[in-house]
Amino acid sequence: MTKRSLLAVLLLCGLLLDMPNASGWRWVYAVWNFGHVILFAVLTHIVLRWRQQRSGLAAPGVRFCVMLVLVMTILGALIEVAQWLIGRDCEWQDIVADTIGAAVAVLFSREWRQAWPFGWRRIASVIAGGLLLVWALQDVVLHSVDTLARRISFPELYSPASLTATAARLELLRINVAQVTDATLSSQSLLQVNLMPGEFSTFTLDQLYSDWQGYDALVWRWYNPGAPLTFSCRAHDLQHERNGFDHRDRFNQTLELASGWNTLTFSLASIREAPATRDMNLTRMRSIACFASQLSQTRTLYLESVFLVRSKTAL
């Protein structure tokens, strides 16, 4: 087996590995997914080199390059099926990433340039390859920006005014959101949160700056324009996920969200002591959420901010 063949086999085996999720960051997930683009670009490059070496000096033609991208797409689909068979998710987005990786490798390859040595076709190929690469990188860029923004804005955990307020951090169940401005309610930007009918309507922030040491309370600022609403809030650390999401292993509190402005304040001491058999690790916080249950009709709330405070900070 040649070195190129061995590398190709190792790359294919690597795609069957599960993503390391120790931190729970969407940035890690985005970079891992972009790995599909890189791996299939490298794999396509290996096949093109092998094809040219086998055929001597003659470069593979356009038809071969197009067929190679199609074959790589089929290969990506087969890998997703194999992952499904071993109990992992089968994701069509990964197949798209595999196809983009193969297409980018072809469009920037020497073989493709030799097929279109002059004229607008060659220029168009370079532009198309660049656009595909930019499109594939959008999640990595988005979550890189959001990760930096979270560090800069801490101890504020969420603001509707953030550039990535609706594009990152949020995990929504039976909820849709929109950024709004209403000077009669607040001088700040607000997030309109529409809770849909169903068993649970949950608003989750799962992109947190996780070290909460030195702070005393978690604060949510909600505006309820309607009748009082039974509302629940929860919080958990990374260990909770490793413990199988046991309900007794996290912080939970149910309260009534009154009409008008509500400042929901939860002491970090109560959050730390909430798990039944341990203390929550405030240096590895993972997710916080608010939710309503058994709604019979749509309810609208407005979120102003989520932040941490020290005991001497005035709310």
Q: Output the domain CATH number for residue 274.
A: 2.60.120.430
| pLDDT category of residue 226 using cuts at 50, 70 and 90 | very high
Residue 148 inside a domain? The answer is no
Rounded CA gap, 5 and 9, in Å? 6
Which carries the bigger pLDDT value, residue 290 or residue 18?
290
Which carries the bigger pLDDT value, residue 16 or residue 108?
108
Query: Domain tally for the chain?
Result: 2
Q: In this predicted structure, what is the pLDDT of residue 115?
A: 66
What is the percentage of the chain residues whose pLDDT exceeds 90? 38
Mean pLDDT score of the chain, rounded to an integer? 84
Task: Kindly state the DSSP code that residue 296 receives in the 8-state scheme.
Answer: S
Residue 149 inside a domain? The answer is no
Residue 50 inside a domain? The answer is yes
Average pLDDT of the segment spanning 250-259: 95
Q: Residue 43 CA to chain centroid, in angstroms?
A: 26
Residue 146 inside a domain? The answer is no
Q: Are residues 70 and 125 in the same domain?
A: yes
Answer whether 111's CB lies under 8 Å from 65's CB. Answer: yes
Q: Are residues 50 and 130 in the same domain?
A: yes
Residue 180 inside a domain? The answer is yes
Average pLDDT of the segment spanning 251-259: 95
By CB atoms closer than 10 A (0-12, 13-18, 19+), residue 294 is exposed
Rounded CA gap, 274 and 49, in Å? 59
| pLDDT category of residue 227 using cuts at 50, 70 and 90 | very high
Residue 142 inside a domain? The answer is no
Q: Are residues 162 and 125 in the same domain?
A: no
Q: In this predicted structure, what is the pLDDT of residue 304?
A: 96
Q: In this predicted structure, what is the pLDDT of residue 1?
A: 46
Q: Are residues 52 and 169 in the same domain?
A: no
pTM of structure:
0.74
Q: Are residues 132 and 164 in the same domain?
A: no
Question: Above 70 in pLDDT, residue 87?
Answer: no
Answer whether 216's CB lies under 8 Å from 311's CB. Answer: yes
Residue 254 inside a domain? The answer is yes
Average pLDDT of the segment spanning 83-111: 80
pLDDT tens for 140-189 read 888 888 888 888 889 999 999 888 888 878 889 999 999 999 888 988 89
Q: Are residues 187 and 295 in the same domain?
A: yes
Average pLDDT of the segment spanning 61-88: 81
Question: Above 60 in pLDDT, residue 22?
Answer: no
Q: Residue 177 CA to chain centroid, in angstroms?
A: 17
Name the residue range of residue 66's domain: 3-136
Q: Are residues 172 and 88 in the same domain?
A: no
Q: What residues form DSSP beta bridges with 264?
A: 220
Q: Are residues 132 and 186 in the same domain?
A: no
CA distances from 259 to 243, 254, 265, 311 (A): 37, 16, 17, 27
Q: Are residues 17 and 95 in the same domain?
A: yes
Strand segments (E) across the chain = 156-158, 170-173, 175-180, 190-195, 198-205, 217-224, 229-237, 251-257, 260-267, 285-295, 299-309
Q: Are residues 72 and 206 in the same domain?
A: no
| pLDDT category of residue 260 using cuts at 50, 70 and 90 | very high
